[in-house]
Amino acid sequence: MRVEQLRQEFALEVEFWAYDLRPDLPPEGLPRDLVYRGARYTAEYLRYLWQVAEESGIRLGLPPVVANTHKAHEASEFAKEQGEVGSFSRAVFAAYWENGENIGEMDALCRLAQECGLDGQALRQALESDRYAQRVEEQMEWARREGIVGVPTFIFDERFALEGAQSYDIFKSVTERILARRGDE
């Protein structure tokens, strides 16, 4: 959402890449309480996340299942080839974080693709054949080599990274500084 706002204000090129925060999850995912048992997030941190989400117009919820996102990333590669990765990514985000759907399920991904004007059956065939699996794995391997450990991570100009939920003002400031530097080059 912040990226979309930036794109409206600045002429930016945005590329979506896969990253798997929990690569060991089984394909069907796991119940949230099992995955986060013992996790300690401060109340301040959680309030901040909810505030940032609300400012972006997101009704953030906690899905009951922590999804294995590998197939969702493969589906995003399919959407990228069709020129619809932005709308598809927004739909997947809303399905998971706002509606609590398991975005690791092929039926959910195909329905979301269809709702975005993509061919759901063609996506199903691509997912069943693992057409994009290698590409997704290469992106994830690159992220691991680069030391990326959080989501979302935004990389600006192949040099600067912002990790996690950040205010729009921070995104705008980084963008302005990069554009100013480019003017000096």
What are the domain boundaries of the chain? 2-139
Q: What is the pLDDT of residue 141?
A: 94
Helix/strand/coil percent split, the chain, to 5: 55, 5, 40
CATH class of 2-139: alpha beta
Give average pLDDT by consecutive 10-residue segment, the chain, 185 residues. Answer: 80 84 92 85 81 81 92 97 94 94 97 98 98 96 90 84 83 89 68
Dist CA 56 CA 139 (whole Å):
27
Q: What is the pLDDT of residue 40?
A: 73
Q: What is the pLDDT of residue 31?
A: 94
Picking from 174, 98, 130, 132, the residue whose alpha carbon sits closest to that of residue 17 is 132
**How much is the pTM?**
0.86
Look-up of token digits 């205010």: 167
Picking from 117, 138, 115, 135, the residue whose alpha carbon sits closest to that of residue 126 is 135
Q: What is the pLDDT of residue 184?
A: 55
